[in-house]
Amino acid sequence: MIAETLLSNTIIPLRTSDTGEEALGMMNDFYVRHLPVVNNEQLLGLMSEDDILNYDVEEPIGSYGLSAPTPCVRLDDHIYEVMRMLAEYHLTVIPVVDESANYAGLITLEDLMRFFAETASFKDPGSILVLEMTRMDYSLSEIARIVESESAVILNAFVHSYSDSAAIDVTLKINRQDILSIISTFERYDYNIKASFNESEYMDALKDRYDALISYLNV
């Protein structure tokens, strides 16, 4: 999955002739806190609500100073790169450029969240298992071998690291509701089970968090 497949068809970029007040109105209409500024096909920068409020909202945004560098992704960048850029710069949208660095569109945080929520690893029934270990001990092939030894399959794996520690959390989505035998096997191999959730518990919690995020974006 690449950035081109998630381009928004509804959100239009800002023009330098738009006033700050008009830009804030567009952000409110689209439920975002950022919008790209484009001159013809040239991406000039990314404007945030905070940027606008630092200037006279009755003046055109072309007279504002744009922060540099402008965060953006290419059409052929992977979705993981899109996610990284959104998180690194705390954005609600990310501009997308083509091979000539011309503006091609944008991707919203909401669209990215919806994409992951609708993938098979979230939709397919199963359970969640969280393992705690050190980076040195992490081996996905060994973890997969243990799960498959119990006639199960890993649908998705996510690794969360900590900047101040060598410990990592490995979150597994497994295609079984009952994972007691899998937990027992991991414990037999001296893995530390940090948490486990059956599908209904996890999906309820995930839905609550997703709804809270969408509600926050709509504020």
Q: What does the pLDDT read at residue 215?
A: 74
SS3 123: helix
| Alpha helices by DSSP H, 31-179 | 49-53, 79-89, 109-117, 120-123, 140-149
Q: Rounded to two decimals, what is the model's pTM? A: 0.70
CATH topology of domain 3-111: CBS-domain (3.10.580)
Nearest to 26 by CA among 10, 40, 41: 10
Residue 191 sits at φ, ψ, to 5 deg, of -85, 145
Note whether 131 and 170 are within 8 A (CB).
yes
- Number of CB atoms found within 10 A of residue 61's CB: 25
Q: Which residue ranges make up each domain of the chain? A: 3-111, 123-213
CATH architecture designation of domain 123-213: 2-Layer Sandwich (3.30)
Beta bridge partners of 169: 132, 160
Distances (CA, A) of 14 to 60, 162, 163, 185: 10, 38, 37, 56
Q: What does the pLDDT read at residue 204?
A: 62
Q: What does the pLDDT read at residue 165?
A: 87
Distance of CA 195 to the CA centre of its chain: 23
Rounded CA-CA distance 112/56 in Å is: 33
Per-residue pLDDT of the chain (219 residues; tens, 9 = 90+): 899 999 987 899 999 999 999 999 999 999 999 999 999 899 999 999 999 999 999 999 999 987 667 899 999 999 889 999 999 999 999 999 999 999 999 999 999 988 887 775 667 778 999 999 999 999 999 999 999 999 999 998 989 988 888 899 999 999 998 899 999 999 999 999 999 987 655 556 666 677 777 777 665
Rounded CA-CA distance 173/128 in Å is: 5
Rounded CA-CA distance 183/190 in Å is: 11
Q: What does the pLDDT read at residue 213?
A: 73
Q: What does the pLDDT read at residue 163?
A: 82
Q: What does the pLDDT read at residue 73?
A: 96
Q: What does the pLDDT read at residue 198?
A: 79
- Number of CB atoms found within 10 A of residue 74's CB: 17
Rounded CA-CA distance 68/175 in Å is: 45
- Number of CB atoms found within 10 A of residue 65's CB: 9
Rounded CA-CA distance 94/83 in Å is: 9
Rounded CA-CA distance 97/101 in Å is: 5
- C-beta contacts of 116-119 below 8 A and 24+ residues apart: 117/206, 117/210
